[in-house]
Amino acid sequence: MRRSASFRENDPELKEMLLSLAQSALPIGISGIEKRFGGLSVLHDLGLDVAAGEFLTLLGPSGSGKTTLLMILAGFVRANAGSIKVGGEEIITMPPHKRNIGMVFQNYALFPHMNVFHNIAFPLKQRRVSAAETAERVERALDLVQLKGLGERRVDQLSGGQRQRVALARAIVFEPRIVLMDEPLSALDKSLREHMQIELRNLHRRLGMTTVYVTHDQREAITMSDRIAVMNAGRIEQIDQPEVLYARPQTKFVAGFIGESSFIPVECRNGGVWLEGGKLRMKDPMPSPGRHLMVVRPEKLRLINGEQTGDVNALPATVGDVIYQGDSFVCYATLKDGRQVTLRDYCRSDVLAKLPAPGEPITLGIDAQDVVLVADQ
Amino acid sequence: MSIASASLDRARRPDGAINADALAADARREARGLFALLSPGLSLVFAVIIVPIGWLFWLSLFDEAGQLSAANYARFFEQASYIKTFVTTFKVAFFVTGASVLFGYPLAYMLSQLPRRAASICLIFVILPFWTSVLVRTYAWLVILQRKGLVNTWLMDLGVIGQPLPLANNFAGVAIGMTHIMLPFLVLPLYASMKSIDTDCLRAGMNLGASPSATFWQIFLPLSLPGLASGVVIVFVLCLGFFVTPALMGGGKVIMWAMRMEQTTSLYSNWGAGAALGVVLLGVTLALLGFFQWLLGARATGVWSRR
């Protein structure tokens, strides 16, 4: 598989297509988008900049407005206010068929009355591309999504993964300025979905098209994206690279939505952050005075016995339950104030040797550099 | 262990299959049970469909003297009036089907695009005439379309026309009356198939660069064709055997197949000839249904998609 991929990249025609796609990538500038359905406000003064060639994911729970934003980008839904600029050109009032934006739909939306070839040729036909060139470009697109030779197949003869690839080929064959994807992998089973995530990411790296991807699956977003915009109730809570988003969430919502978190209340006063009478060691700059929440990730906690060493905060706790999960174990512990925290670690023999029993008092440690505070809403 | 294997050995046939006889007997018992459950329905179908049609066919084989002959069928080729009736019937059926498509397609399209509430209210107006008898509706049309009916009086009062238009007691009257009655039979299956078209397919069409009208012609229309085909078949087949409206609205000038049958049996008491008419109509209808089946089957195997 790896060899065939490198072989295809040596194909001069394919190289030319990849190059022209990369050149056609344009930045998107979204600002002041307002959308109301009836009296219900769905998007509020939403702004977002996507760099040329970037893979940006809109991540959020259902009802957060991410799909509505995508529909406004594609032109299927009219916003009440706002601006969308693609490469500096305003497109907010442009009808969808003139926008030159490729889209992959959640249920693929392949045309059931056309075979694979005609599905992929459809955008070229609308653009009055000659028959010979159409055949050539469809062939190349099929090659790109590894469906060579399936052009004559009917859509209902394809598997879910193959339909996904046809939808993708159809969305990029006309070299659009932008590609939008609306939860394109949600209908696939888990293993195929994970395979397609890697494949989509690689395809994006090769083609370099500006991509806006919508999902509610945080793992998918983290795997694929250059940047993730976390949306909640019609607003963007935080937009950052996946590793920043995970390590340094700025709000309680982001910390809770991406990865597992426990929250421990802390108070900032007299030039220090205080946790149950002890001063918290931390690397981040001091927040504003008042109450805050410390975000505790299960894998950032560890068991420390006896003396603490270096820049570590010690939290005395009682073990509630220990659950063995094969590769790792989860330990639910209760702090002195009755608050639950979760600890997760891999089952290495040295860790397993000193695994605590339920009811046993333990000391949990968290490094100063792992201390993250968010506002207590 | 030894007891279990001993009982297994008893159930084992010489060819080595375990419990094969018992399983086969069980399958036969199940089939008999299912047939017993089906038999009331099957006997009803036999009594009200198979027997009358067989009788009809049997009757058509005897002439007026009660002799076995093919005279009733020979008449179709010998008498010009029979051929004329045949042609008239198909002319009316084609015309009414065409008019139903012309009015019904836009109507169904509108219904499918309306918001759910508005669509269900409009659908009631499509279905409402269904609950009124065909006879009443036909007389209503007669009142509206006759020489001194509503349409002619209004048009003459407005000065649009000097002479009343011949709208009733002719082909035009039959066509108007029948189109009104047939319209729901086309609209309902068509509406159902239009509702089942995935909106995302239309969005995909526009997203890929097709203008709204190109999206309609290249995506919506082809996807609505199965519903249109079933509506057309229903309307056409119903038209072939239609009686009340042409009898009342035709003024004796438009003789259709079913009217011919009525004349033959009640006026001339020639049951053999009437039965032969029925058999031919049934044959033609079945042939048409077969043709449409073939056409739709051809679509399913991808002939249409190649273009």
Q: What are A348-368's pLDDT values in tens digits?
A: 887 777 788 888 888 888 888
Classify residue A351: in a domain, yes or no.
yes
pLDDT by residue for chain B (307 residues), tens only, comes to: 455 555 666 667 777 788 888 999 999 999 999 999 999 999 999 999 999 999 988 888 887 777 888 888 887 778 888 888 888 999 999 999 999 999 999 999 999 999 989 999 999 988 888 888 889 999 999 889 888 888 888 888 888 888 888 888 888 899 999 999 999 999 999 999 999 999 999 999 999 999 999 999 999 999 998 899 889 999 999 999 899 888 888 888 888 888 988 888 888 888 888 888 889 889 988 998 888 888 777 655 444 443 3
Task: Flag whether pLDDT at A3 surpasses 70.
Answer: no
A147 and A30 in one domain?
yes
Is-contact A340 A262, C-beta < 8 A?
yes
CA distance B114 to B194: 12
ipTM over 0.85? The verdict is no
Choose the mutation target among B197, B202, B208, B221 for the interface with A, i.e. most A CBs under 10 Å.
Answer: B208
Classify residue A253: in a domain, yes or no.
no
Are the Cβ atoms of A96 and B204 closer than 8 angstroms?
no
pLDDT value of residue A308: 62
Q: Which of A247, A279, A311 is the last residue of a domain?
A: A247
A189-240 residue pLDDT tens: 888 888 889 988 988 888 888 999 999 999 999 999 999 999 999 999 999 9
Choose the mutation target among B193, B197, B207 for the interface with A, i.e. most A CBs under 10 Å.
Answer: B207
Query: Residue B104 burial by CB count (10 A; 0-12/13-18/19+): exposed, middle or buried?
Result: buried
A96 at B interface, C-beta within 8 A: yes
Integer-rounded Cα radius of gyration of chain A = 25
Are the Cβ atoms of B206 and A123 closer than 8 angstroms?
no
Are the Cβ atoms of A126 and B306 closer than 8 angstroms?
no
A187 and A325 in one domain?
no
Per the CATH hierarchy, to which homologous superfamily does domain B79-306 belong? Answer: MetI-like (1.10.3720.10)
pLDDT value of residue B303: 40
A331 and A192 in one domain?
no
pLDDT value of residue B175: 92
Q: Which of A220, A247, A274 is the last residue of a domain?
A: A247
- What domain range is A114 assigned to? 2-247
pLDDT value of residue A280: 81
Q: Which of A216, A247, A278 is the last residue of a domain?
A: A247
Task: Flag whether pLDDT at A284 surpasses 90.
Answer: no
Amino acid at site B143: V
A170 at B interface, C-beta within 8 A: yes
Average pLDDT over chain A, rounded to whole? Answer: 87
Distances (CA, A) of A116 to A166, B135, B214, B303: 7, 52, 19, 14
A271 and A236 in one domain?
no
A128 at B interface, C-beta within 8 A: no
B213 at A interface, C-beta within 8 A: no
pLDDT value of residue A12: 64
Q: Å from A231 to nearest chain B CA?
A: 24
Classify residue A198: in a domain, yes or no.
yes
Classify residue A254: in a domain, yes or no.
no
Residues in A touching B304 (Cβ below 8 Å): 113
Task: Flag whether pLDDT at A1 surpasses 50.
Answer: no
Domain with CATH 1.10.3720.10 in chain B: 79-306
Q: Which of A109, A126, A170 faces B214 most closely, judged by CB atoms?
A: A126
Domain CATH number, residue A34? 3.40.50.300
Residues in B touching A99 (Cβ below 8 Å): 207
pLDDT value of residue A2: 36
- How much of chain A exceeds pLDDT 90, in percent? 49
A39-57 residue pLDDT tens: 888 999 999 999 999 999 9
CA distance A343 to A359: 15
Side by side, which strands form the sheet with A312-324? A302-304, A361-367, A312-324, A328-335, A340-346
Per-residue tokens: A61: 């729970």
Q: What is the number of structural domains in chain A?
A: 2
Q: In which band, very low, low, confident or very high, does the pLDDT at A291 lie, cut at 50, 70 and 90?
A: confident
A280 and A240 in one domain?
no
pTM above 0.80, yes or no: no
CA distance B240 to B288: 11
pLDDT value of residue A290: 84
A177 and A85 in one domain?
yes
A239 and A278 in one domain?
no
pLDDT value of residue B190: 94
Choose the mutation target among A72, A77, A111, A119 for the interface with B, i.e. most B CBs under 10 Å.
Answer: A111
Per-residue tokens: A105: 């739909």
Classify residue A255: in a domain, yes or no.
no
pLDDT value of residue A4: 39
Are the Cβ atoms of A111 and B204 closer than 8 angstroms?
yes
B227 at A interface, C-beta within 8 A: no
In this structure, of A9-23, A313-327, B31-45, B251-265, the range with the lowest mean pLDDT score is A9-23
A194 and A58 in one domain?
yes
